[in-house]
Amino acid sequence: MVKAFRRIAWIVLDSVGIGEMPDAADYGDAGSDTLGNVARKVPLSLPNFQALGLGNLKRLPGIEPAAAPEACYGRCALASPGKDTTTGHWEMAGIHLAKPFPLFPSGFPPRILRAFEERIGRGTLGNCAASGTEIIRQLGSEHMETGKPIVYTSADSVFQVAAHEQVISLAELYRICEIAREILHGPDEVGRVIARPFIGQPGAFTRTANRKDFAVPPPPGMLLDSLQESSVPVWAIGKIGEIFLGRGICHTSKTRNNADGMEKTMAALHELPEGLIFTNLVDFDQLYGHRNDSEGYARALEAVDEWLPGLRVSCQDEDLVIFTADHGCDPTTPSTDHSREYVPLLAWGPNAAVGRALGTRETLSDIGQTVAENFGVHIANGKSFLEEIVA
């Protein structure tokens, strides 16, 4: 097929799942339905997403099915085991995992902590699964007194290191995270090592925007590699660049929050004449899902909905916009973890097909394969739906 779209803006609404997958109970996620449960708990107004066809995916309180959806609509399952950021984004790019990244729900074993402390020349605090805001509240004062970084994990495959920016400099924090990344290999290879800097005084600590992720290198041949080999420019916005270690990316814009991510997506639409704009809007997950803040989650959804008319005006005739997510993170359940859910799929463009049901896709790689086919390349996994969305 001749290239149908000159530019594609692929926007990941981080953690906006749309209902439990059949194996959700195996992950402790029976009953999880991020979008549906938020809509049931908090009055939600999403008129622009409704017009695209979001309400045609399933019954959602306050979000009616559109009589004539303005986008093509469907949902995607995760084919890989797991429910974390790396797994979801890698699958989008065509990488299917044979087994999930390792988890350490009881903290990291002594062999890992000893090696880490020896290499960085400091002791550590914490070493447990915890909320990032809660653990700095509990241990931030001791950290400031001792200079020991706070090490913790979560239900995800992560090794997180929190440090006050006036106690351990950003450069030093990033260095010790690089050391952790070197140590965590083989059976201990977590999906991400994350630097979590914070500032403030006891009782009023706040995390800063200087977070940095150190991901596992993706295997070769994934979507962004293939696009680069064919000279297709890729602009990464948000944490996309760190998830893929900058591979295949010609321009990266880190973001402070969703508003910044939306603004930088608009800037990319004005600056990039062709290629892929790959955006992650992280607030849903980071600020609201993991903190069980249903009200905040709802308001964040509405903020993106209010942005949509301006996004559509900025799109040119040969553009395509794809909305999806990487997993769920239901803020209405007792758990603060990610949830094993289907994710929405909405594909809209000024001259794209409208109102076509894309069904339940077997994998997030279907999106990657669609992008790949549009730009004349191919990835190992996924079935393209490009022909279905071309008018």
136 shares a domain with 40: no
Indicate the SS3 state at residue 123.
coil
Query: Do residues 255 and 282 lie in contact, with contact meaning Cβ atoms separated by under 8 Å?
Result: yes
Which of 192, 215, 238 is the last residue in one of the domains? Answer: 215
Query: Does 87 reside within a domain?
Result: yes
Asked, for residue 49, whether it belongs to a domain, the answer is yes
- State the DSSP code for 80: S
- What CATH number is given to the structural domain containing 18? 3.40.720.10
- pLDDT tens for the chain, 391 residues long, are 557 999 999 999 999 999 999 999 999 999 999 999 999 999 999 999 999 999 999 999 999 999 999 999 999 999 999 999 999 999 999 999 998 899 998 999 999 999 999 999 999 999 999 988 899 999 999 999 999 999 999 878 999 999 999 999 999 999 999 999 999 999 999 999 999 999 999 999 999 989 999 988 898 889 999 999 999 999 999 999 999 999 999 999 999 999 999 999 999 999 999 999 999 999 999 899 999 999 999 999 999 999 999 999 999 999 999 999 999 999 999 998 899 999 999 999 999 999 999 999 999 999 999 999 999 999 999 999 999 999 8
Residue found under tokens 């999806």: 324
Enter the tokens of residue 17. 């799942």
What residue type is 71 in one-letter code? Answer: A
Euclidean distance between CA atoms 334 and 220, whole angstroms: 38
With residue 125 as reference, give the H or E element that holds it: strand 125-129
CATH number of the CATH domain containing 173 = 3.30.70.1250
Q: Are residues 191 and 221 in the same domain?
A: no
Tokens matching residue 38: 């938020």
Q: How many distinct structural domains can be found in the chain? A: 2
- Tokens read off for 377: 């390349």
Which residue's entry shows tokens 């900058």?
A: 246
- Only one residue has tokens 């900025």, namely 314
Which SS3 state, helix, strand or coil, does residue 88 take?
A: helix
Residue the block writes with tokens 């495959």:
157
Looking at residue 324, its pLDDT comes to 98
pLDDT (0 to 100) of residue 100 = 87
Residue that is last in its domain, among 215, 237, 257:
215
First to last CA, the chain: 13
**Do 191 and 227 belong together in one domain?**
no
User: In 3-state terms, what secondary structure has residue 324?
Assistant: strand
Q: How far apart are CA 321 and CA 334, in angstroms?
A: 34
**Whether residue 287 sits in one domain with residue 301:** yes
- The answer to whether residues 133 and 204 belong to one domain is yes
Decide if 105 is inside a domain.
Answer: no
Instruction: Name 220's Cβ contacts closer than 8 Å, sequence gap at least 6.
Output: none
Asked whether the beta carbons of 389 and 117 are under 8 A apart, the reply is no
- Residue 83 sits at φ, ψ, to 5 deg, of -160, 40
Q: What is the pLDDT of residue 2?
A: 58
* 12 neighbors 281 (Cβ within 8 angstroms): yes
The reply to whether 59 and 153 lie within a common domain is no
Beta bridge partners, 235, equal 251, 277
Residue 323's nearest CA partner among 18, 6, 3 is: 18
Are 281 and 13 within 8 A, CB to CB? yes
269 shares a domain with 241: yes
User: Do the domain assignments include residue 1?
Assistant: no
My answer on whether 148 and 21 are in the same domain is no
Is 80 within a domain?
Answer: yes
Query: Is the residue at 324 inside a domain?
Result: yes
Is residue 199 domain-shared with residue 342, that is, in the same domain? no
Cα–Cα distances in angstroms (integers) from residue 170 to residues 2, 38, 135, 148, 197, in the given order: 47, 36, 19, 14, 7
Q: Does some domain include residue 104? A: no
Range of the domain at 283: 7-99+217-389
By the 8 A CB rule, do 143 and 161 touch? Answer: no
179 and 309 inside one domain: no
Secondary element (H or E) of residue 161: strand 158-164
Q: What is the pLDDT of residue 131?
A: 86
* DSSP-assigned letter for residue 60: B
Residue 108 backbone dihedrals phi, psi, to 5 degrees = -90, 140
User: Which pLDDT score, from 0 to 100, does residue 264 have?
Assistant: 98
Same domain, yes or no, for 77 and 224? yes
For residue 154, the model assigns a pLDDT of 86
Tell which of 164, 196, 215 closes a domain. 215
Sheet of 72-76, strand order: 251-253, 234-237, 275-281, 7-13, 319-324, 343-348, 72-76, 357-361
Distances (CA, A) of 204 to 138, 166, 198, 291: 11, 15, 10, 17
Task: Note the pLDDT of residue 25.
Answer: 97
Q: Are residues 186 and 127 part of one domain?
A: yes
Helix, strand, or coil (residue 319): strand
Residue 147 lies in a domain: yes
Whether 7 and 316 have beta carbons less than 8 Å apart is answered as yes
Q: Please check whether residue 339 is in contact with residue 14, taking contact to mean a CB–CB distance below 8 angstroms.
A: no
